[in-house]
């Protein structure tokens, strides 16, 4: 997960159009596997996420281990950008960017719907 800007006091980013927003395909999926990723430079997990029949399973490397036990992630719905090109992270390929917010310590808190929704549902 790329850490972009965690300053809560920072103002908004530059204005974009609605069409620009729609270019980011953000979907919900269910974590079906969560494994340790000791080769990562920062403490991370390797996730397999099911985004439903339209997208299928995708892999993600995410810096989420400070706030989540791996066993607790399985079965949890998460949101991810599914249309970035895959990124090689050490020995692993990350196919989607799992989304979250920084807590007060700068650690990731996952972004997810507050009620179950179908896997593959798109954020709008």
Q: Which CATH class is domain 20-110?
A: mainly beta
Q: How confident is the model at residue 105 (pLDDT cuts 50, 70, 90)?
A: very high
What is the pLDDT at residue 41? 87
Q: Give residue for tokens 């965690």.
A: 6
> Is the whole-model pTM more than 0.75?
yes
Q: Between 1 and 90, whose confidence is greater?
A: 90
């Amino acid at each position: 997960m790329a850490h972009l800007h965690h300053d809560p006091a920072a103002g908004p980013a530059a204005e974009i159009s609605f069409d620009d927003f729609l270019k980011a395909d953000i979907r919900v999926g269910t974590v079906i596997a969560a494994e340790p990723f000791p080769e990562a430079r920062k403490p991370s997990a390797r996730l397999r996420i099911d985004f439903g029949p339209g997208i299928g399973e995708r892999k993600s490397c995410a810096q989420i281990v400070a706030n989540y036990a791996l066993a607790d992630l399985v079965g949890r719905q998460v949101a991810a950008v599914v249309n970035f090109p895959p990124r090689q992270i050490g020995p692993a390929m990350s196919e989607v960017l799992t989304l979250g917010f920084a807590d007060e310590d700068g650690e990731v808190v996952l972004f997810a719907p507050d009620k179950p929704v179908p896997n593959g549902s798109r954020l709008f």
